[in-house]
Structure 1
């Protein structure tokens, strides 16, 4: 693994500068153990480069459900599709489980805040459901953020459950406040608005890896929020599909050699590229961010400050975790 591209300052001021990176990675699809090893390798390299925040692609652990568009995923009551979903469900991780503890150890060992896209298996009443989730892991506190994608996009709704607003939060890392959204959530004006209002200065968008999809919205988010916008995108080749996946042969036959080509990038608060989208190979995209640029650009536009109109527009964000059932316990004799 190597550094693919970077935007480094000759003499960064630690009082106003933070170094961030996007890990543009692939690896065996739906193999959490193999991908955790690659994640750890990326963290080791990032720490050596002075990175403080390291972001990984959407559902990097265990993988994006790309079989749906290539194997007639909407066929109702189809035995093969049921088998695919069961395989995918078994590959998902539980928040609070051993994978989270391993991520916390990586964050602590290397002094990194990690933003990691995971395929999350629900617990309790949702143990048969999968969420597209973005975890924020800090060296000091472990799990600091647990955001479930608000609306799965198009065919994703066949396998991902709807999330909620509990994770629409930002987190302090050194001099910066950072936040993040999954894939097409980055197109949702209200979701972006919630993070801007929570003081976001560095916005991370996680993507499965389609540069033509992530390019425009990364620059737009930077310009709209007057924030630094970082796209963390994945790589996937058909060779990464395991042989025992129920529709492996059909999936390979109906896919390009590299279904996901990356596109990780970094845009400045004025919408200019610090690092243009990088495609087709694995590695780190690194940038030193001078946070003073955020203040300079907000002279002309601050979307939740002097350019808001709370007398005209009312915005409420419900940040409670939503569950299907709430059990009210009585006495043991009831």
Structure 2
């Protein structure tokens, strides 16, 4: 078993090696002359691992330009049509609602991270203790709504998801299933800006309620168990109840209960690739099947990005070099598959 190096050491590595974002030139380049149109999601917490994969594909000789930033629906339509080759930001089962769009034309190969992509609702720890908040059900209480009502409309403000995101579907379902429409005001503006505003409110002593997912910079900025706590849903109620068992997580640090009924199934973060392209490029299939990126490294990069270090190309290049032994094994597997 190899041991992946983590991101905190990468800044020093870049300084000592003079590393740039340019990919290494490999001797064996099975992708030479083949173009890949890569997409990335509108949530910037997925851009780091997207860039890692992009540079690995370049090391195999593929022509991969800057990733196109797409919402979920246009991506899954485009990858099915072959207008876009792939992305590495499928969230399943969250994105299962799009399967009918790409079934038979695109497929999931490998995984960036399995099972560690969580979703749920959090409140600041002080409010949870002051008002005894353990569940979304508590936001039907007048004193709780008032404590979280920042715009004076009589409802608690919830940082939710922008329109078109997979999480918006589940949140909207929850608002109806738990009869919360008269009690919660979902904020659907740009997520990063909305969360930055929530963090500022927290730092000024206000109470906050927000949805988040992992990996995400929010769990570095507002640490579960220290600054905030995960709260539960009244009961698991999902658009697809076949996923209900995956919506309760045992041993979740910073949750009000254990096991924690988050109300969202744990997700795998996976590549989704056009099937025709995969059939012609077994090296890509082998690479995607081999790569894995620790969530802790993604957390760390997301936190650095949130602090203003937005040179994702250099960060990805540094991560690759820090993990060169593992990376070379992945690339060798890809080359062998193409031969």
Instruction: Bin the TM-score by the shorter chain.
Output: under 0.3
User: Which structure carries more relative contact order (alpha carbon 8 Å, separation 6+)?
Assistant: 2
| Higher helix proportion (structure 1 or 2) | 2
Provide the TM-score with structure 1 as the length reference. 0.25
| Higher strand proportion (structure 1 or 2) | 1
The structure whose Rg is larger is: 2
